[in-house]
Structure 1
């Protein structure tokens, strides 16, 4: 119902503006509506890049120029049909989006903004100085406009066509952002390491965001060039990049309605201040500072909380109970090796948290990895999950060497994990956190999601039902729509466990899952882990300091001390080992 309501509002607003254009003959007013549509197209794409993926860009003027000059050159120099030129503009801009993304994504924060800013400045200089191709400051004349029935578009038809493009853009982006890829972009913005650990291809997600922003800016640039039938470097100054970013921040970055609010409001303000350029630029700077410091959620943030909730209604319970706590299968039936580690090494200068570590994990067992602080336990878990690349050694999972593979690839193979320090996506709901764990298991691709095909909608529905079952399994069904970051610490641990289970792991790595829990919560966690291991057939490797938990649920214990494996075996054997006692208690106590 929420999706249909958004669609109706979008169509109703566009219809109202179309009716206004039909009733008004004043070209100035029609121009304002047309430019509001152009700015919306720019802001809608940049909202994906800035509001969802969290990548700050100041080079959108260059991408606007790519679309504008593509349409201009194809029609004025080579007499290509203007409709084909319009179709080519977003393609060329998308290619530039990839080119700017590749070097930009090697840096973060203000450095990313500087790289994109440099791109915009370089494009402006090229079109200004390359007179033979781009016409220099004089620009390009004779650009062919769009036609209908052999006649050039009137101002009213330009408004109507731009409104159609805006509606289509809004609906297509909604399809993407409400589903698998929208969640992936939000996870990248929140925590790239955690995002990769649940199967999101972080680099690819960022490139997609850059391309979406480039395509919409390219379309907007082509519309301006063809409507004006003229383009020059004055259209693509640095001020345009700032203005597009301001549209997003003022309307509300990360809000689907934010770009439309920002475009309408600032286009009207821009028209009112057009006769005073100096005041206009000062006002934009002041408004940008105001939006950043006093209204970080933008206009839309004043009407809705920043925290992102689950869809309006939680999935209907099918009446199926949570998976039962079945009896653990006999150990003799589970003797095949799942993970083999041989001579694994890692050093940070003189510090060596892993020195020729070798061990095996067997299917269906609960394994514990223990040792004093600084023994190298978390480093080992990070190497197994791809967060840290080992210096030497072999990690063979189900017969495949995965040493040095990326986290998302290891997750796809069947290794899930939790973190010592919680890495939840705090602004997302409990259900959306668990849904992100389903990312690598979902089959709907970007184009199917963009077009809202039935298969993509069905895949999203199944993933939501699976995620909700896991939320029920960890006892958080009543909190499914609550932002994960607002939960008590013990419940956040359960959310992270459910998110890891959603990746459908064969091997689950738990880095101190009982850290920060009280004795009762620790006992409940132990029961939950046993239930997960037995009912879901998952092998567990748990880093833990709570010895009562380790001894209660573990089949096999591995002990590290200063990066060296000093013992392994059954819990009782390890507990009585002299080297383990010395490592934990010292020789005097032994």
Structure 2
């Protein structure tokens, strides 16, 4: 973390703590405490909704998990309240993982319904199972936090909430301003593209749910311990909506959005508490306002008004990762880098690949061509794990990869671009390329969360490599521009740069010249040749025959899912079956 930011957070926290000390009113202290509680809920929810893009309406259930865990552990098991608070975070985190599993199969409104069902089940459980949870009567005598045997006063609770909020902000900032934050944002943008650069979509979804659950569980435990009482009235669907509103109104996807939302909405909640019907109407109106009229929230509005101009990245030398002929060095030029052996793919009666076999030689430029509907993109998708072959074997460096997940295949050394652009359009050009570096970075969760020196070194090295790659593809001056704002031809280059950042042994290009004008196509051909000279093997699916014939060393031709020819460009140009496939038998 940057030292100036750390000092700023400490200074602001001390200022708020001093203000609380000067306040001689328990009601105002309660409002300050609830701001801290709601900030914890919103900070974790921001990771889940604002960064990972997973819609959740089950936060009340996670809040309840923390609250009742702390209540039961201190009353029924006589556990120390500090230990109970830590245990409540663990219990809530496990519940978060539990409701995350359905997210592996559903998304969007269906995921929201699953999480809503979880919240309703928890609400019914704590209200109906009176023997354990006390129902409407609740659980009394919950042990509060204490120091040297002296329970926290209201002022102490405010100070504790401020300290915990500051630590949460610093930790999440460490996590989200680096490798993990980019990975979460890639889930929201395009899960298939995220997998293609080595992001494990399922793992990061579960992690986002876990983070949101832990912070919400801690908040619930704090409320239960501060009140020394909890009942089913604490856990309602209204709470889930309120926590979601904290994020959306404050500004989802912004580190300061949860804080802004917590401060403003807690004040509004206090002002409207004596008019419950007006209170609910106000929340609905604010939710609609945040969704339709201010989609980036208050934080987004402030950033738009007072945002600063981003600093351009430093242009650095070409990284070593682009230079060595990794594939040729590891297996020898005489052995195939990729071996496709009698591979077929069936979708019911449709057969886009039928008993296809070919081999790719390390260090060469290969082309996979054929008329529309020949099965070329299907073959690329099977090689990269998007599709699983019905039969046959695909071996990369001698290892069978058929049916392997895309992010694993990327880590093995296969990078790709897509027929239809799959950029992370709202991220900058540099962030897109840094996502390509994701699978090559070694800083794990705890190192990133705590901003350990090893994590900072990995980030610095990733930026150095990304900047050098951008220089290689002539995009260094556009590093901080949103990728989706660039002309189509430059977006194609960004996607190619992102694929290069995965440090592939084999680079698959699915119609890289689609939509390019003749000049851009010629420049692309020169760039592909330049990349191949770095020792990277290339397999290109392309319809521009001039480009294919001018830069390819070896060509494979498909027609209706069947391989009809294979050989050098000269041999393919004179092959009667190829001419017939493209021009028809009569023309041939």
- State which of 532, 541, 544 in structure 2 corresponds to 1:543: 541
TM-score (norm 1): 0.96
Q: CA deviation at 1:589?
A: 1.7
The alpha-carbon distance between structure 1 residues 3 and 313, as it changes in their structure 2 partners (threshold 3 A), is farther
Aligned to 2:205: 206
Trace 1:486-497 onto structure 2 (pairs within 5 A): 486-497=485-496
Q: Distance in 2 between matches of 1:341 and 1:309?
A: 51
Aligned to 1:370: 369
Trace 1:177-256 onto structure 2 (pairs within 5 A): 177-256=176-255
Q: Distance in 1 between matches of 2:309 and 2:192?
A: 23
Q: Secondary structure at the match of 1:352?
A: strand
Aligned to 2:62: 63
Give yes or no for contact 1:39–1:220 (8 Å, CA) kept in 2.
Answer: yes
Q: Distance in 1 between matches of 2:28 and 2:311?
A: 39
Give yes or no for contact 1:309–1:428 (8 Å, CA) kept in 2.
Answer: no
The alpha-carbon distance between structure 1 residues 320 and 297, as it changes in their structure 2 partners (threshold 3 A), is closer
Aligned to 1:11: 10
The alpha-carbon distance between structure 1 residues 4 and 312, as it changes in their structure 2 partners (threshold 3 A), is farther
Deviation per CA, 1:177-203, whole angstroms, max 9, x where unpaired?
Answer: 001110001001100000000000000
Aligned length, in residue pairs: 582
Q: Distance in 2 between matches of 1:576 and 1:359?
A: 20
Aligned to 1:526: 525
Give yes or no for contact 2:312–2:479 (8 Å, CA) kept in 1.
Answer: no
Give yes or no for contact 2:315–2:471 (8 Å, CA) kept in 1.
Answer: no
Trace 1:457-496 onto structure 2 (pairs within 5 A): 457-496=456-495
Q: Distance in 2 between matches of 1:377 and 1:129?
A: 58
Q: CA deviation at 1:320?
A: 8.4
Aligned to 1:150: 149
Q: CA deviation at 1:301?
A: 1.2
The alpha-carbon distance between structure 1 residues 309 and 444, as it changes in their structure 2 partners (threshold 3 A), is farther
Aligned to 2:48: 49
Unaligned runs of 5+ in 2: none
Give yes or no for contact 1:514–1:546 (8 Å, CA) kept in 2.
Answer: yes
The alpha-carbon distance between structure 1 residues 8 and 258, as it changes in their structure 2 partners (threshold 3 A), is farther
Q: CA deviation at 1:315?
A: 3.9
Deviation per CA, 1:349-391, whole angstroms, max 9, x where unpaired?
Answer: 2211000000000001100000000100000000000011111
Q: Secondary structure at the match of 1:69?
A: helix
Aligned to 2:578: 580
Unaligned runs of 5+ in 1: none
Give yes or no for contact 2:198–2:439 (8 Å, CA) kept in 1.
Answer: yes
Q: Secondary structure at the match of 1:138?
A: coil
Aligned to 2:103: 104
Q: Distance in 1 between matches of 2:199 and 2:436?
A: 9
Q: Distance in 2 between matches of 1:221 and 1:414?
A: 45
Trace 1:69-80 onto structure 2 (pairs within 5 A): 69-80=68-79
Aligned to 1:423: 422
Q: CA deviation at 1:13?
A: 2.8
Q: CA deviation at 1:522?
A: 0.6
Question: Over aligned residue pairs, what C-alpha RMSD do you find?
Answer: 2.0
Aligned to 1:448: 447
The alpha-carbon distance between structure 1 residues 424 and 343, as it changes in their structure 2 partners (threshold 3 A), is same
Q: Distance in 1 between matches of 2:255 and 2:9?
A: 11
Aligned to 1:552: 550
Q: CA deviation at 1:52?
A: 0.4
Q: Does 1:512 align with 2:518?
A: no
Deviation per CA, 1:1-47, whole angstroms, max 9, x where unpaired?
Answer: x9445444433332221111110110000000000000000000000
Q: CA deviation at 1:312?
A: 4.2
Q: Distance in 2 between matches of 1:325 and 1:73?
A: 60
Q: Distance in 2 between matches of 1:438 and 1:309?
A: 27
Q: Distance in 2 between matches of 1:158 and 1:293?
A: 37
Q: Distance in 1 between matches of 2:416 and 2:323?
A: 23
Q: Secondary structure at the match of 2:302?
A: coil
Q: CA deviation at 1:78?
A: 1.6
Q: CA deviation at 1:542?
A: 0.1
Deviation per CA, 1:455-499, whole angstroms, max 9, x where unpaired?
Answer: 011011101101111010000000011111000111111111111
Deviation per CA, 1:416-465, whole angstroms, max 9, x where unpaired?
Answer: 00000000000111111000011111100011101110001101110110
TM-score (norm 2): 0.96
Q: Distance in 2 between matches of 1:352 and 1:511?
A: 20
The alpha-carbon distance between structure 1 residues 149 and 313, as it changes in their structure 2 partners (threshold 3 A), is farther
Q: Secondary structure at the match of 2:498?
A: helix
Q: CA deviation at 1:148?
A: 1.3
Q: Distance in 2 between matches of 1:28 and 1:440?
A: 50
Q: Distance in 1 between matches of 2:226 and 2:356?
A: 68
Give yes or no for contact 1:556–1:569 (8 Å, CA) kept in 2.
Answer: yes
The alpha-carbon distance between structure 1 residues 512 and 323, as it changes in their structure 2 partners (threshold 3 A), is same
The alpha-carbon distance between structure 1 residues 392 and 167, as it changes in their structure 2 partners (threshold 3 A), is same
Q: Secondary structure at the match of 1:75?
A: helix
Q: CA deviation at 1:311?
A: 7.1
Aligned to 1:86: 85
Q: Distance in 2 between matches of 1:219 and 1:325?
A: 49
Deviation per CA, 1:284-336, whole angstroms, max 9, x where unpaired?
Answer: 01110111111110001112259x9997452463598997999xx9xxx8332
Aligned to 2:267: 268
- State which of 551, 556, 560 in structure 2 corresponds to 1:562: 560
Q: Distance in 1 between matches of 2:151 and 2:576?
A: 90
Q: Secondary structure at the match of 1:560?
A: strand
Deviation per CA, 1:144-193, whole angstroms, max 9, x where unpaired?
Answer: 11111221111111100110000000000001100111000100110000
Aligned to 1:162: 161
Q: Distance in 2 between matches of 1:96 and 1:430?
A: 37
Q: Does 1:348 align with 2:364?
A: no
